Chain A
Amino acid sequence: GQQVMQIPQYQHVQEGEDFTTYCNSSTTLSNIQWYKQRPGGHPVFLIQLVKSGEVKKQKRLTFQFGEAKKNSSLHITATQTTDVGTYFCAGNAGGTSYGKLTFGQGTILTVHP
């Protein structure tokens, strides 16, 4: 079945440093979504990417979808303590798996002030 791998599993940064998490799928994706879960909270939708090579920005966050639509990344510039949490990607393979999002295992980000 479809697998979505996310690396790294953990990332510790000093406030002000940049952070990147990578998501790789075993199959070509129709679309990919990113969610953030604060400590003790629940996943909250951040963004969806659909087009090959798509790049979207939200303030300090930059999301990319690979040309082959099998990988994606989330980059945070100049991290802040409010960025702490777990970042999940979720891929949709479409086809026979249409309607089923497969989540990566998440990257836990810690930001030291």
Chain B
Amino acid sequence: ETGVTQTPRHLVMGMTNKKSLKCEQHLGHNAMYWYKQSAKKPLELMFVYNFKEQTENNSVPSRFSPECPNSSHLFLHLHTLQPEDSALYLCASSPGTSGANVLTFGAGSRLTVL
């Protein structure tokens, strides 16, 4: 596979569930990102990892917990979410973290919280 792969593509969970989103990139990039896309809102940056180290946490609630075991894999662990957390969660990667780097996005994980 090439590019950025996200699983699952769709997820429905209750507010007391624990689930994880997975992202894998096959581009040899060093930086990986989680974005949240809600209806009628701009893309919201959540987390940035560069060489496995978290370099940005954009004031994200602790019910979202990222994990980056290596430069190719990124997880988003979810627990005790709220209905307003329902959104499309996009993973992206780039060669580095400078603002001139181009983002390659995955297809996204559509999350519905009941």
Contacts and interface: CB of A to CB of B under 8 A. Distances in A.
Nearest to B104: A45
Contact of A42 (B97, B99, B107): B107
A64 interface: no
Contacts, number: 59
Interface residues of B, number: 21
Contacts of A33: 102-103
A44 B107 CA distance: 10
Interface stretch (B12-20, B37-45, B68-76, B79-87): B37-45
Contacts of A20: none
A105 B42 contact: yes
Interface size bracket, A side: 20 to 34
A98 B102 contact: no
B107 A92 contact: no
A97 B43 contact: no
Contacts of A92: 98-100
A16 interface: no
Contacts of B98: 92, 98-99
Interface of B: 40-43, 45, 48, 55-56, 90, 97-108
